[in-house]
Amino acid sequence: MADSNTARKILAIGLGSMGYGMARSAVRGGHMVWGQDVNAAQVSRFAEEGGATEPVPHGDLEAVVVTVLNAAQTEEVLFGPDGVVPRMRAGAAVMSCATVPPDFARAMATRCGEHDVLYLDAPISGGAAKAAEGRLSIMASGEPAAFSALRPVLDSLAETVFELGDAAGTGSAMKAVNQLLAGVHIAAMAEALTFGITQGVAPQDFLDVISKCAGTSWMLENRAPHVVTGDYTPLSSVNIWPKDLGIVLDIARASNFGAPLTAAALQQFVAAAGMGLGQEDDAAVAKVYARNAGLRLPGED
């Protein structure tokens, strides 16, 4: 819990599945937190659950935490017509949490610097549940002053802060690496589970055995249960992956780096979105494999 020395005035921009939990965690950490979102209902709900209700005092803010969908939205909320950075005081800090290209993070840091605003390149990992618990992993890079300014905020949001150097961009690069693996591993889980069905391996047996063998992954243990129980309530949705793997492949291509597994995984998520499953849990990529092979998954009629 922050005391009077560490409590901060924070604006949380983006109150989606990650941002809402983070804003609540910041409140629980003793900070004064304003919420902002295109969805007015989310802003009202947050105000009812501990958020600050007065007009946002932009000139008094010590930190702005940005948890929007992508680079375009990040640029819009920072520097668009109603952008926050030009209204912030010198020495205040932006913590940017969306998955964005490293070059974009570097550009944002430079532009914030022109307003004497600090910038922490701080993509997050861990999912909505850990966001709500204040137990995220944060892959952060930026100048030491940005880390110092945001330390009490980071403490309220994260279980682990990976400090990846003093230049914006490295945090986003590490996040891209993590997303490459996470996306490939979800699709690989789906491919293996459905392949197993064709060979007489029941999904529950797949989970029981493979999670204890060399074929396991963090994503397999986290997502295969969704397929086994036929519950595709979105904890992280299919639509995340065409976006995040698209970022990976864009920056890979710009570096003349071929990423064939990532490319194959992306196509499976695109097919899932094409099947109308974009809002379902990302484990629903298993339905692409099942449809292509004429298989029935648990919970399907």
Examine residue 17 and tell whether it contacts a copy of itself (CB under 8 A).
no
Q: From the centroid of its chain, how far is CA 274?
A: 22
CB closer to a copy of itself out of 95 and 105: 105
In degrees and rounded to multiples of 5, residue 200 shows phi and psi of: 85, 15
Catalytic residue (one of 175, 212, 243, 287)? 175
Q: How near is the Cβ of 299 to a copy of itself at its closest, in Å?
A: 20
Which residue's structure tokens are 């699709």? 187
Active site residue 175: yes
> If DSSP codes are grouped into helix, strand and coil, which group holds residue 79?
helix
SS (H, E, C) 274-288: HCCCCCCEHHHHHHH
Examine residue 107 and tell whether it contacts a copy of itself (CB under 8 A).
no
Q: How near is the Cβ of 31 to a copy of itself at its closest, in Å?
A: 25
**Which one of the spans 22-30, 150-158, 226-234, 290-298 is the region binding a copy of itself (CB under 8 A)?**
290-298
- String of contacts with a copy of itself for each residue 213-252, x by CB under 8 A: xxxxxxxx-x-------------------------x--xx
Question: Which H helix or E strand runs over 13?
Answer: strand 9-13
DSSP 237: B
Tell me the Cα Rg of the chain.
20
Q: How many residues form the binding site for a copy of itself (CB under 8 A)?
A: 70
Examine residue 270 and tell whether it contacts a copy of itself (CB under 8 A).
no
CB 97 within 8 A of CB 158: no
How far apart, in whole angstroms, are the C-alpha atoms of residue 205 and residue 193? 10
CB closer to a copy of itself out of 46 and 289: 289
**Which one of the spans 10-18, 89-97, 159-167, 276-284 is the region binding a copy of itself (CB under 8 A)?**
159-167
Q: How near is the Cβ of 246 to a copy of itself at its closest, in Å?
A: 14
How far apart, in whole angstroms, are the C-alpha atoms of residue 124 and residue 97? 6
How far apart, in whole angstroms, are the C-alpha atoms of residue 160 and residue 101? 22
CB 121 within 8 A of CB 142: yes
Catalytic residue IDs: 175
By CB under 8 A, name the binding residues for a copy of itself: 102, 125-127, 137, 139, 160, 162, 164, 169-170, 173-174, 176-182, 184-185, 187-189, 191-196, 198-201, 205-206, 208-210, 212-220, 222, 248, 251-252, 255-265, 267-268, 289, 292-294
